[in-house]
């Protein structure tokens, strides 16, 4: 009896810039960031927001029991980590030793999609930020890569 292919990914990885939030953290905002009332602001007092459905997406994946991680090529690592903390998303992050074939990766840059697809990661191109439909569609498509003829 052969092993059953996974129905769910072992890990969902999100790029940050223009995937979870609508800016480049190393260019469009000025770290460090602060809580100011209900908002997060940068050092210039500019309010920093994420894409609308991102908290709902992260909670959904957590409730599905799917670990979540962030990956970014940003040069502003401390600022990106600070935003993950201030948005309360650091609680979702996990480190795993999982194979690439068990991962889904969401990114707005085609070069990253191309590179990671080559090593077996199920990649999803993000055009205008992550939302629930994009994530749910990806979760439906994921098992099909193990059974390409499944409708």
Q: Quick one: pLDDT at residue 53? A: 98
Q: What is the pTM of this model?
A: 0.88
Q: Which residues pair with 124 in a beta bridge?
A: 106
Buried b (16+ CB within 10 A) or exposed e, 64-85: eebbbbbebebebeebbbbbbe
- What lies within 8 Å, CB to CB, of 122 at 6+ separation is 9, 101, 103, 104, 105, 138, 141, 142, 145
Cite the active site residues: 15, 17
Q: How many CB atoms lie within 10 A of CB 89?
A: 19
- Mean pLDDT in residue range 126-150: 88
- At 45, the pLDDT band (50, 70, 90 cuts) reads very high
pLDDT tens per residue, range 11-25 = 999 999 999 999 999
- CATH class of residue range 11-22+50-143: alpha beta
């Amino acid at each position: 009896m052969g092993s059953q292919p996974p129905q769910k990914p072992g890990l969902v990885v999100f790029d940050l810039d223009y995937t979870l939030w609508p800016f480049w953290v190393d260019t469009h905002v000025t770290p460090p960031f602060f809580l100011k009332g209900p908002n997060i602001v940068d050092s210039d007092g500019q309010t920093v927001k994420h894409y609308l459905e991102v908290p709902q997406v992260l909670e959904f994946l957590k409730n599905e029991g799917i670990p979540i991680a962030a990956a970014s090529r940003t040069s502003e690592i401390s600022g990106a980590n600070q935003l993950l903390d201030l948005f309360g998303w650091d609680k979702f992050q996990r480190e795993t030793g999982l194979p690439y074939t068990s991962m889904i990766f969401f990114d707005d840059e085609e070069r990253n999609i191309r590179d990671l697809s080559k090593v077996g990661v199920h990649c999803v191109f993000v055009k205008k930020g992550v939302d629930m439909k994009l994530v749910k569609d990806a979760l439906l498509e994921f098992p099909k890569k193990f059974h390409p003829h499944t409708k």
